[in-house]
Structures are given as C-alpha cells and as structure tokens.
Structure 1
Amino acid sequence: MFIFIYFSNLDSKEKNFYATLVRAQLSQRELYLIAFNNVIKGFGNPNFLYLTKEYYILQNMD
C-alpha cells in the first residue's frame, strides 16, 4: 500500500493522509516484521527503508 501511495499522482499532503490511514491499521507484529525487513540487506533495505522513513511507518511501534 505504501508503494502504491508513493507512486500515485497525489500531492504530498494527500499522500501523508493516506499513509497515516494505512499506518494506523498495522499491528505490533506487522510493525516488528517491517522493522526486521528493513535491516536485512537485499530484502527491505534500502528499498522499503526509504518508505519507512518517508511515511514514519514505525512511529507506533512499542
């Protein structure tokens, strides 16, 4: 979903709004998986790591 939002033709305010909606639906376990995915080279790092920082995906992680 974050990749779809990133490549859409929306302005940055709308992109942040939709990213916030998606981020609010993520469970703690999903956030842990995203965090682990970002640190493993070749998988999420550096591809999804950029989106994680761009949309503050791990903001709600305990």
Structure 2
Amino acid sequence: DRLYDLVAVLDWNRAPVRAGRGSAIFLHAWRRPRWPTAGCVAFDPRDLAWILARWTPRSRVVVR
C-alpha cells in the first residue's frame, strides 16, 4: 500500500481541539480515481508530488 509514500498533514482541529470534529486531514495518494477516503483528500501520486514540491510554510489548503 503506497498511499502514504507522500503525505501532508493539515493543521486541522488543533488549539483548541473540538470534540467530534475529527483528529486530522491528510493529503495523500489515491488508491484509484474517485475512490473514497476516510475523510482525507487524495490525489494522483504525480499530482501530489507536484503539489508537495511547491509546498511552503505559507501554503494554505481550503477543503470545501
């Protein structure tokens, strides 16, 4: 399983932690296109590599 060969952990539900809001959101590779995740955001591994190569401490992710 190579889902987490490349991964980014989003700063979600921290300071303050809110019960029932989940513990984390990850960006990771998909199993296959349009396959569901457990609340994460999944990408084609090549697209994820492109995103993470350009990631900086000032990068922001908006999940809608």
TM-score (norm 1): 0.25
Larger radius of gyration, structure 1 or 2? 2
The structure with the largest helix share of the pair is 1
Higher RCO (CA-CA < 8 Å; seq separation 6+)? 1
TM-score w.r.t. length of structure 2: 0.25
